[in-house]
Amino acid sequence: MIVSDEHFVVCRPENLSMDGAAMLCAGITTYSPLNAQPLPALAAMNTLDGIMIIDIVSAVHPILPLLMLLKSHAKLVMVGAPENPVELPVFPLFMHI
């Protein structure tokens, strides 16, 4: 059993598929970090200017290509939670300075 505050619970309409419910969940989860960021981070969504990337993939995947898109001191927000630890080859990051 999971106990939650009623302000954080949304009833899923019966005609909404589980895939649709997963997309709704991902949207709500991604809204939180975007809402906590200053306005320039919100602009990064439309311009891909390397300020912030939100990774919602929960399957094992390489994150180095995402990191290479970021500017210095930018943020990679990982919302998805893969079952296995994320592997990060560090040496290419040194070369990307």
DSSP secondary structure of the chain: -----GGG--PPPTTS-HHHHHHHHHHHHHHHHHHHS-HHHHHHHHH--SSEEEE---S----HHHHHHSPTT-EEEE----SSPPP---HHHHHT-
Owner of token pair 């954080």: 8
Of 6 and 85, more confident: 85
Q: What residues does each domain of the chain span?
A: 10-95
Of 37 and 72, more confident: 72
The pLDDT value recorded for residue 42 is 45
Span 5-49, pLDDT tens digits: 777 777 778 888 877 777 777 666 666 666 666 544 444 444 556
Q: What is the reported pTM?
A: 0.53
Average pLDDT over residues 44-67: 75
